Amino acid sequence: MAVFWFVAGLVFLIIGAEALVRGASRLAAVLGISPLVIGLTVVAFGTSSPELAVSVKSALTGQASIALGNIIGSNIFNVLFILGMSALIVPLVVSQQLVRLDVPLMIALSFLVLLLALDGSFGPVDGILLVAGLVTYIWVLIRLSRKETASARRQPVQEAASADPKGAGWIRNITLVIVGLALLVLGSRWLVDGAVSFARHLGVSELIVGLTIVAAGTSLPEVVTSIIAALRGERDIAVGNVVGSNIYNSLAVLGITSIVAPEGIPVSSAVIGFDLPVMIAVALACLPIFFTGGTISRKEGVLLLAYYLAYTAY
């Protein structure tokens, strides 16, 4: 039964995230947001919504270790596995905005999470600080988007208008967002219950299950989104989705979960001594890769995948 509920929850999370991303992306395109900003915000936040749903559910039901493991494990999985797999399909082009702003921000946030964890827990004050950072980040992205050329901003609007000239799609897209959120809530409940049963049956800690099984499961929407974007040539979205998801995990998922957790999120010495430093190292590894000609090559993709296999095996 644990396997059934886990798989059913995972399916609901993926379907819900897909519906949420599709509806939200179309709404954002109508508003004239550029493809890169859509990848960094709407798509990244939408595909990270399973992490938010699962982490909040875990924190509220006393499984804070799953919540924390899910966040850290997802950030590691996103860079090493998803970027690696996407680069194997087609070499990824890296936007200069990512190199100048978003990747350094992802690295800074990784250090900030470690710094906030040193007192042994994430509490409401930490959560408020992180959520405030999220609001600031979104505001900066919107400002940058407005500075783009008019042609770059008109293109998604024209595409959206041609797809739905009468504007009737507004209701359909909003419905997709609402249905997606509902499926995420239900799916997260089933997945967390199944994951807790896994941990007890396998005799491992809930933290390990969160870092591996749950993190990989909740990151499947990012896998699908980035691979499809790479195949379609939308390489800005493929890379922006991963970087944006990691920023969202650190600011929104960890921030909101820290606020709603009744007793905060305890942080073990093992997380401070190993998993958080690995997350920082993974974020730092992006800089030299992203600077080498502005692309992520297939060889670099193989290297990223090898690092993830080594981490999971350890």
Each residue of 208-243: pLDDT tens digit? Answer: 888 888 888 878 777 777 777 777 777 667 787 788
* pLDDT for the residue 275: 93
pLDDT at 254: 94
pLDDT at residue 50 tops 50? yes
Which residue in 197, 134, 118, 147 sits closest to 36, CA to CA? 147
Please report the pLDDT score of residue 35 as a whole number: 62
Instruction: Work out the pLDDT band at 4, boundaries 50, 70, 90.
Output: confident
Confidence class of residue 11 from pLDDT cuts 50, 70 and 90? confident
Give which of 267, 13, 30 is closest to 157, Cα–Cα.
30
pTM summary value = 0.79
Which amino acid, residue 308? Answer: Y
Inform me whether the pLDDT recorded for 33 exceeds 70.
no
Nearest Cα residue to 37 out of 181, 170, 155? 155
What average pLDDT does the segment 289-298 reach? 74
Give 36's pLDDT tier (boundaries 50, 70, 90): low
pLDDT at 28 over 60: yes
- Between 14 and 115, the higher pLDDT residue: 115
Beta-sheet pairing, 121-122 with 265-266: antiparallel
Two tokens, residue 263: 């007793």
Q: Is the pLDDT of residue 58 over 70?
A: yes
Q: Which pLDDT value is given to residue 219?
A: 81
Q: What is the pLDDT of residues 166-191, one digit of tens each?
A: 455 778 878 887 888 788 778 877 87
Closest to 82 (Cα-Cα) out of 221, 186, 191? 221
Greater model confidence, 229 or 111: 111
Question: What are the tens digits of pLDDT across the range 14-23?
Answer: 787 778 777 7
With a cut of 80, say whether residue 117 has pLDDT above it: yes
Q: ∠ CA(71), CA(130), CA(15), 5° rounding?
A: 45
* pLDDT at 128 exceeding the cut of 90: yes
Minimum mean pLDDT among 44-48, 136-140, 308-312: which range?
Answer: 44-48
Quote the tokens at residue 176.
């997709």
Whether residue 13 has pLDDT greater than 90: no
Rounded to an integer, the average pLDDT of 4-32 is: 77
Q: What percent of the chain has a predicted confidence (pLDDT) above 90? A: 28
Question: For residues 220 and 47, is the Cβ–Cβ distance under 8 A?
Answer: no
